[in-house]
Amino acid sequence: MNTMVLNNLNPQTKPISLYKTLLFAANTALGVSVVCIAVSILISYPYAEHFSIPVQVSAHISTIVIAAILKVSYVLRCVAQHGLGQEVR
């Protein structure tokens, strides 16, 4: 059975740089997803009368999808912080 081990990566790439890249990507995804979920909630509820039904349906669906992305981003951030030896909060 083939399993991918972190040590099988490119030998020039250090795991620390992978964790730093992962932390940056996770923080970016967290920021973008927070903004997107705020917009989708605003479209879904307080400003719903200003949008058509298809836009409202899309906003409701995107709220669920963006929430999942936000959760995955947070988990990736925790993994990166743990890999870098930082406090995981």
pLDDT, tens digit, 9 for 90 and up, residues 1-13: 555 555 555 555 5
| Full DSSP string of 37-87 | HHHHHHHHTTTGGGS-HHHHHHHHHHHHHHHHHHHHHHHHHHHHHHHTTPP
Q: pLDDT by residue (tens digit) across 41-53? A: 999 999 999 999 9
pTM above 0.85, yes or no: no
Would you call 41 exposed, middle or buried from its count of C-beta atoms within 10 A (0-12, 13-18, 19+)?
middle
Task: Break the chain into its structural domains and give their ranges.
Answer: 14-83
Residue with tokens 């250090």: 14
Average pLDDT score, the chain: 90
Q: Which of 15-24, 25-34, 71-80 has the lowest mean pLDDT?
A: 15-24
**Mean pLDDT of the region 23-41:** 98
